[in-house]
Chains A and B, each alone.
Chain A
Amino acid sequence: MKRIINSFALKFFSAVMFFNQFIIAAGESDYPENYYDKVALFLIFVIIIGFLSLIYFESKIRIVKEKQPSVFWAKVRHLLTKSTPIERENEVLLVDHNYDGIKELDNRIPPWFSGLFYATIIFSVWYMLHYHVLGTGDLQEAEYAQEVKLAEIQRAELMRSGAMINEETVTLLTEPAMLESGKQIFITNCAACHAADGGGLVGPNLTDDYWIHGGGIKNIFKVVKYGVVNKGMIAWQNLLNPKQMQEVSSYVVTLQGTTPANPKNAEGELWKEE
């Protein structure tokens, strides 16, 4: 039940969010350069609503006057309201009630009204039982604990999947399986420029001790992630996920000291791991 309510609430708010995306999305750009068009957009929206409600209001009264309701709906309406028709309202007129000319009818309480009232009472009893007697509902502290726990799980998951890896936090991988995966990524994506054995073609030699942008896992990761666009190195951050970038960077580190078939001449500075 709670889940249903929550999912309903979620849907409702995502619908609202749809409208709000104009506002929120625009908010990411620079304030206050372009908010007048939002004002204009909103004004138009409100004017339309206002205009429609005006038409609705005026026309509704006309419909009430002109249109005869069908027999079926009249029956349904009577079932829901049990009201005495105006033509026979003398039957429910309270003859001894006359207050400064105000008279009172004594129409039956509409069944839909009683139904609504009973429904809210039943809901309330269920609500109190659910949260305070049966203990089947989470009160605020439990809810909060749940929320924090869920966030921790998600965080651990993020850690594991590598989404949290960046140039500051990246570490060198040594597990053969991960290095193998890095090798595959290298062959698929990097070999075209750096040669399959890392000896370098268009791109520099990755097997020697000389590095243009610094060696070591962090620098390599950074170059892989952001690229060196003016020299032809692609920024891979939108093409590989952080985990993959970590794997391929780690693989590149293992190429150090291997002997490629056609090594390109050394470029950059001699790099020593500190």
Chain B
Amino acid sequence: MELERFSYDNRIVRNFAYATLLWGIVGMIVGLLIALQLFIPELNFSIPFLTFGRIRPLHTNAVIFAFVGNAIFMGVYHSLPRLLKTPMFSKLLSNIHFWGWQLIIVSAAITLPLGITTSKEYAELEWPIDIAITLVWVVFGINMIGTMIKRRESHIYVAIWFYIATWVTVAVLHIVNSFEIPVTFLKSYSLYAGVQDALVQWWYGHNAVAFFLTTPYLGLMYYYLPKAANRPVYSYRLSILHFWTLIFIYIWAGPHHLLYSALPDWAQSLGTVFSVMLIAPSWGGMVNGLLTLRGAWDRVRQDPVLKFMVVAVTAYGMATFEGPTLSLKNVNAIAHFTDWVIAHVHVGALGWNGFLTFGILYWLVPKLWKTELYSKKMANVHFWIGFLGIVFYALPMWFSGITQALMWKQFNELGILQYPNFLETVLNIVPMYIIRAFGGALYIAGFVIMVYNLIKTMKQGSFVNEEIAEAPALEKFKDPFRKGTRHRWLEGKPVYFLVVSLIVILIGGIVEFVPTFLVKSNIPTIASVKPYTPLELQGRDIYIREACNSCHSQLVRPFRSETERYGEYSKAGEYVYDHPFLWGSKRSGPDLHRIGGKYPNSWHYLHFENPRQISPGSTMPPYPWLLVNDLNTTTTEAKINALRKIGVPYPEGFEKVANAELVKQAEQIALDLQKNGIPAEPQKEIIALIAYLQRLGTDIKTNTQTASK
């Protein structure tokens, strides 16, 4: 058979590796900063761009899409051509992909601190960037599918199945969740409202974890683990089983983020059961990874690459057991909105994604630079420091989460909340926050050691731009159906494979969405719920800009401990005009859904000026700029128009008088503040935000007695 000569492009792999290292450091340092801010609020330096709410999404986006994202592309651009025995389809597309993705990251790093955000977690970027992401993703897809079509290997390996599922699902997730109506160049409203928005968002949010942090990394594991261990993959049929069950089941599990919420019960239950059924498919990946190391365990002790990979796969197994546990009703009743969830995601992120990335980098960099690793010892030090970092991170967060939950729910012997003052529960976990920050710092220290080690490795080696390889051309195989199984046949048809994956991942979403959107009884309307006034609407957008939802939920769950603390539990019908929903996912501060009317306007004013002059010891940052900035009312008309288009019943022509109404309401609030000795001016941003807060949850608040202090 005649061999064809071709070459692999190593430069694109190198570029993605550089980007992984750079954004990894940036994302983690931002993470450390916000961890410190949780007990030293002064660390925002009174700069709006550095406040917790604005840079928490910067941290999550940077580590997910910049650090992990670039690591995925590094792995794909390295392994895919080698598994298919062909160069990437187009160098131009590779470069567009690389630079486009970096540009998106930079635009995120600029817009998020500016408060330009949609507020939907892990999908905070505004609509022009959403479009850019879609385009780059399409480029990536064409490049990947093109490479498959040009391949010299008859079948596609399991790593590539995972790449395909990743690409197709992320495309669907991103597009469906990003349906939004633009208001201005950098502001949009989600097409969905309230409960529906929450369902779509957490279908997206959960599956971003599944198809951005999990499936591509399983793909990477299937290439780099057997490579590094030099052992055959343990079980091909297990790969098939866990691949298909994983992608089918994962997509259903989103509603477990919304247990005990206003989401219809049946959808909540589906979220629970599909999470439980996910244990085995997830563990399939772990089992196949760990058992591939049979016969290589003696080397695990010496080889830092394998050490990192073993811990990564184990962390994956732990996190995928903890996830279903957290999805059980009675555990979720305790864990939701607490730091337990933060511990959970970081076991996945630091352990699984971080450690697998490190393992791959320690293996790949010496290969690309044709040399040995500069210092094995340093890599071992990194391993232990990183490992301790994870321990120091996760344990205090577990403690903290359970402490929070127990304190929130504790009644005294008289049937009254033991800790009626929320602040008390925050101050109690401050020590845990200190230790967590220490753990994070350790992890970063390990990362820095790795960067140094890798740079030294690169310096001592010589980089090969194009790696020459040879392989025979692909023969057309005839009637493969007779030769093997159906699945084997499908492995020879990557495009069919993609289509089948698409169908498999669409089912869960469709079953959950369609009834929630179409069946009226799922979201019973409440006659007294009215759209926001123009001033409240502007105030709500400030709430979104400052990302108050980073720390405050707007969802009173149906527990007595919550209704005693906050007031009546939240009903689906209350959110019908909320574009987007703002339920939040973590309570570093109290729930705000029933905040309306609870305190006088002057309380809010002084609290925003400096929370500690009202609540000594509070960890909330001050917002002095809200008192100084004038509210931008030029957008009111466009906002009313946009919202009317997506179903909010503002009367025709209302947009013309909206600003007059806005001024009237603002003057009333300013007057009230002046009466209480505060020289407030009606045109300031804070007036709008106070108007919004005072409206929250009041549409159905009939009995103010239910809200205890």
Bound-state Cα–Cα, A147 to B557, Å:
13
A55 → chain B, closest Cβ, in Å? Answer: 12
Q: Is B15 an interface residue, CB under 8 A from the partner?
A: no
Q: Is B287 an interface residue, CB under 8 A from the partner?
A: yes
Contacts of B392 in A (CB 8 A): 46, 50
Which residues of B (297-325) have their CB < 8 Å from a CB of A? 297-298, 300-301
Bound-state Cα–Cα, A9 to B429, Å:
22
A122 → chain B, closest Cβ, in Å? Answer: 10
State which of B233, B245, B617 has its C-beta within 8 Å of the C-beta of A102.
B233
Q: Beta-carbon contacts of B236-269 to A below 8 Å, as 1s and 0s? A: 1111010001000000000000001000011011
Bound-state Cα–Cα, A140 to B388, Å:
40
A185 → chain B, closest Cβ, in Å? Answer: 22
Q: Is A104 an interface residue, CB under 8 A from the partner?
A: yes
Q: Is A226 an interface residue, CB under 8 A from the partner?
A: no
Q: Is the CB of B427 within 8 A of A27?
A: yes
State which of A105, A123, A139 has its C-beta within 8 Å of the C-beta of B273.
A123
State which of A36, A39, A151 has its C-beta within 8 Å of the C-beta of B415.
A151
Q: Which chain A residue shows the least CB distance to B324?
A: A120
Q: Is the CB of A20 within 8 A of B227?
A: no
Q: Is the CB of A65 within 8 A of B298?
A: yes
Q: Is the CB of B297 within 8 A of A100?
A: no
Bound-state Cα–Cα, A31 to B426, Å:
11
Which residues of B (137-193) have their CB < 8 Å from a CB of A? 153, 155, 157, 159
State which of B274, B291, B297, B428 has its C-beta within 8 Å of the C-beta of A107.
B291
Q: Is the CB of B395 within 8 A of A61?
A: no
Q: Beta-carbon contacts of A130-159 to B below 8 Å, as 1s and 0s? A: 011000000111011001100100110010
Q: Beta-carbon contacts of B269-292 to A below 8 Å, as 1s and 0s? A: 110111011011101100100010
State which of A23, A54, A65, A107 has its C-beta within 8 Å of the C-beta of B238.
A107
Q: Is A56 an interface residue, CB under 8 A from the partner?
A: no
A128 → chain B, closest Cβ, in Å? Answer: 6
Q: Is A121 an interface residue, CB under 8 A from the partner?
A: yes
State which of B269, B384, B428, B430 has its C-beta within 8 Å of the C-beta of A24.
B428
Q: Is the CB of B406 within 8 A of A20?
A: yes
Contacts of A123 in B (CB 8 A): 273, 276
| Given A61-B301, A132-B269: A50 touches B391 (CB 8 Å cut-off) | yes
Q: Is B569 an interface residue, CB under 8 A from the partner?
A: yes
Q: Beta-carbon contacts of A97-125 to B below 8 Å, as 1s and 0s? A: 10111111111111001001100110110
Interface centre among B82, B414, B428, B432 (most CB of A within 10 A): B428
Q: Is B431 an interface residue, CB under 8 A from the partner?
A: yes
Q: Is A127 an interface residue, CB under 8 A from the partner?
A: yes
Q: How large is the interface on B (under 10, 10 to 19, 20 to 34, 35 or more residues)?
A: 35 or more
A139 → chain B, closest Cβ, in Å? Answer: 5
Binding stretch for chain B, among A86-94, A171-179, A258-266:
A86-94
Q: Which chain A residue shows the least CB distance to B423?
A: A31
Contacts of B399 in A (CB 8 A): 19-20, 23, 42
Q: Is B515 an interface residue, CB under 8 A from the partner?
A: no
Q: Is the CB of A64 within 8 A of B227?
A: no
Q: Which chain A residue shows the least CB distance to B225?
A: A102
Q: Is B334 an interface residue, CB under 8 A from the partner?
A: yes
Bound-state Cα–Cα, A73 to B533, Å:
71
Q: Which chain A residue shows the least CB distance to B279?
A: A120
B171 → chain A, closest Cβ, in Å? Answer: 25
B312 → chain A, closest Cβ, in Å? Answer: 14
Contacts of A104 in B (CB 8 A): 232-233, 235-236, 239
Q: Is the CB of A23 within 8 A of B276?
A: no
Q: Which chain A residue shows the least CB distance to B310?
A: A57
State which of A58, A86, A124, A147 has its C-beta within 8 Å of the C-beta of B277.
A124
Interface of B, secondary structure class, is: helix
Q: Which chain B residue shows the least CB distance to A92?
A: B235
Q: Is the CB of B82 within 8 A of A144?
A: no
Q: Which chain A residue shows the least CB distance to B266?
A: A132
Q: Is A6 an interface residue, CB under 8 A from the partner?
A: yes
Q: Is the CB of A113 within 8 A of B269?
A: no
Bound-state Cα–Cα, A50 to B383, Å:
13
| Given A54-B384, A102-B227: A151 touches B391 (CB 8 Å cut-off) | no
Q: Beta-carbon contacts of B532-558 to A below 8 Å, as 1s and 0s? A: 000000000000000000000000001
Q: Is B615 an interface residue, CB under 8 A from the partner?
A: no
A170 → chain B, closest Cβ, in Å? Answer: 15
Contacts of B395 in A (CB 8 A): 42, 45-46, 49
Which residues of B (374-415) have their CB < 8 Å from a CB of A? 384, 387-388, 391-392, 395-396, 399, 402-403, 406-407, 413-415
Q: Is the CB of A113 within 8 A of B287?
A: yes
State which of A49, A86, A128, A139 has its C-beta within 8 Å of the C-beta of B294.
A86
B379 → chain A, closest Cβ, in Å? Answer: 16
| Given A20-B402, A39-B431, A61-B297: A109 touches B237 (CB 8 Å cut-off) | yes
| Given A27-B424, A31-B617, A49-B391: A83 touches B407 (CB 8 Å cut-off) | no
Q: Is A77 an interface residue, CB under 8 A from the partner?
A: no
Q: Beta-carbon contacts of A232-268 to B below 8 Å, as 1s and 0s? A: 0000000000000000000000000000000000000
Q: Is the CB of A39 within 8 A of B435?
A: yes
Q: Is the CB of B269 within 8 A of A144?
A: no
Q: Is B77 an interface residue, CB under 8 A from the partner?
A: no
Q: Is the CB of A13 within 8 A of B406?
A: yes
Contacts of B236 in A (CB 8 A): 94, 97, 104-106
Pick 21 A–B contacts, CB within 8 A, sort by A: A17-B406, A24-B403, A27-B424, A31-B430, A42-B432, A49-B391, A50-B388, A53-B391, A94-B236, A97-B236, A99-B83, A100-B79, A104-B235, A107-B235, A109-B238, A120-B277, A121-B277, A124-B274, A144-B558, A144-B569, A148-B563
A interface vs B, CB < 8 Å?
5-6, 9, 13, 16-17, 19-20, 23-24, 27, 31-32, 35-36, 38-39, 42-43, 45-46, 49-50, 53-54, 58, 61, 64-65, 83, 86, 89, 93-94, 97, 99-110, 113, 116-117, 120-121, 123-124, 127-128, 131-132, 139-141, 143-144, 147-148, 151, 154-155, 158, 163-164
Contacts A42-B395, A65-B298, A147-B559 given; 17 further ones with Cβ under 8 A?
A5-B328, A16-B402, A17-B402, A38-B431, A61-B300, A83-B291, A86-B295, A99-B83, A102-B227, A108-B235, A113-B284, A116-B279, A127-B269, A127-B273, A144-B560, A151-B560, A155-B415
